[in-house]
Amino acid sequence: MACSDAPRQQTGLQARSDSAADFSGHWELDYGQSDNTQERVNVLVRELRQQAERRSQSGQGPAGGLVINGNGYNNGESVSGLVRLTDMIARTALLEIDQDEDFIRVRREEDSDLTCEFYDDSLRQLETPFGSELCGWRDHQLVFRLQLPGGLSIQHVMTTGASRARLQLTTTVRTDQVSMPFTINRVYNRFLPGERDFRCEMTLTRGRVCTTGPR
């Protein structure tokens, strides 16, 4: 695993932003406000068809955007794969976010954490044998970009309003087998973990230990 500094001009992201939002807290998925995946699929298919028609009309390619059971680019299996993967990545129902000036950790239920560091005012790019990760601010939005092997890339964009009551997480996935990315917007509502008479914390020798008393 290695880290490197990524130049700002190439990424469009920056380590500091005057309008950086505060995402810290607990968030739960609002299914009603979030995208309906099937509707987004319909949009994708329609756009792929339109794109193919435009290409066909301009003599750049064959007619038909989505080729069911086809073997090539934009075939049904690839589009389905793109959609299913995006849906899988964006399924997280709960987020827990710790944020300070230098570090942000987004804990996602059933997935790895998204983390971002800005210790020396530069963007840190995490390189591993399995992919690379870059994150930074784009004005008030926090952007995470993952570049994975096999032409797969994933971008998460987090946005919140001034009231910090809601958080939008926009997940966009691209593969080199489909000519358009697929995007799902998820909306989360802030919630306060229940006020309880006990608190729990992780320990090494005794596992999770809960004690009574004020939080």
Partner 1 sequence: MGPLSADAQESQGAFLDVGLLVFDPGIPADKAARSRLGIFPEIRKSEAKYMPVILRDVLMQQAGWGAVRVLPELMDSPELLVTGEILHSDGQQLSLQIRAQDAAGVLWLDAVYEGLATPTDYTGSPQSDPFLQVYENIAADLQQVRERLGAARTSTIREIALLRYAAALAPEVFGDYLVVGESGEYMLQRLPARGDPMLERIIRLREQEYRFIDTVDEQYVNLSDAIAPAYLLWREYSAEQAVFVDDFEDRVLGRKSRARPGSFAALEQTYNTYRLSRIHAQDLDELALGFNNEVLPTSLEISGTVYKLSGTLENQYGEWRDILQQIFALETGLTPSP
One of 48, 90, 178, 187 touching partner 1 (CB under 8 A): 178
Question: What minimum distance in Å lies between the beta carbon of 77 and partner 1?
Answer: 5
Nearest approach, Cβ of residue 17 and partner 1 (Å): 18
Q: Position of tokens 């793109």?
A: 82
Q: What are the Cα distances from residue 2, in Å, to 45, 87, 128, 193?
A: 39, 29, 6, 36
Three-class SS state of 140:
coil
Going through the chain in order, the beta strands assigned E by DSSP cover: 2-6, 25-29, 94-99, 103-108, 114-117, 123-128, 131-138, 141-148, 152-160, 166-174, 182-191, 198-202, 208-212
Q: Which one of 46-54, 59-67, 75-83, 155-163 is the stretch in contact with partner 1 (CB under 8 A)?
A: 75-83
- Between 159 and 175, name the residue whose CB sits nearer to partner 1: 175
Nearest CA to 159 among 141, 171, 143? 141
Number of residues that bind partner 1 (CB under 8 A): 44
CA of residue 6 relative to chain centroid, distance: 19
Q: Is 175 in the site for partner 1 (CB under 8 A)?
A: yes
Taking the least distance from each CB to partner 1, the nearer of 18 and 201 is 201
Under the rule (CB under 8 A), what is the footprint of partner 1?
1, 3, 75, 77-78, 80-82, 84-85, 88-89, 102, 111-113, 115, 117, 119-120, 122, 124, 128-131, 146, 148-152, 154, 175-178, 201-206, 209
